[in-house]
């Protein structure tokens, strides 16, 4: 999943 990997941070 391209867009989600950086959004697992706060």
Partner 1 sequence: MNIFRFAGDMMHLLSVVVLLLKIHKMKSCAGISLKTQELYALVFICRYLDIFTGFISLYNTIMKIVFLASAFSILWYMRSHKVVRQTYDKDQDTFRHYFLILACMVLALLVHHKFTFREVMWTFSIYLEAVAILPQLVMLQRTRNIDNLTGNYVFFLGTYRGLYMLNWVYRYLTEVHYHHRWLTWISGFIQTALYADFFYYYVKSWRNNEKLQLPA
In the complex, minimum distance from the CB of residue 7 to partner 1, in angstroms, rounded to a whole number: 7
Radius of gyration of the chain (CA): 6
In the complex, minimum distance from the CB of residue 2 to partner 1, in angstroms, rounded to a whole number: 7
d(CA 10, CA 2): 18
Residues that contact partner 1, how many (by CB under 8 A)? 9
* DSSP reduced 3-state for 7: helix
Site for partner 1 in 1-10 (CB under 8 A): 2-10
Tokens of 7: 């959004």
The footprint of partner 1 (CB under 8 A) covers: 2-10
């Amino acid at each position: 999943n391209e867009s989600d990997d950086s959004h697992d941070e706060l």
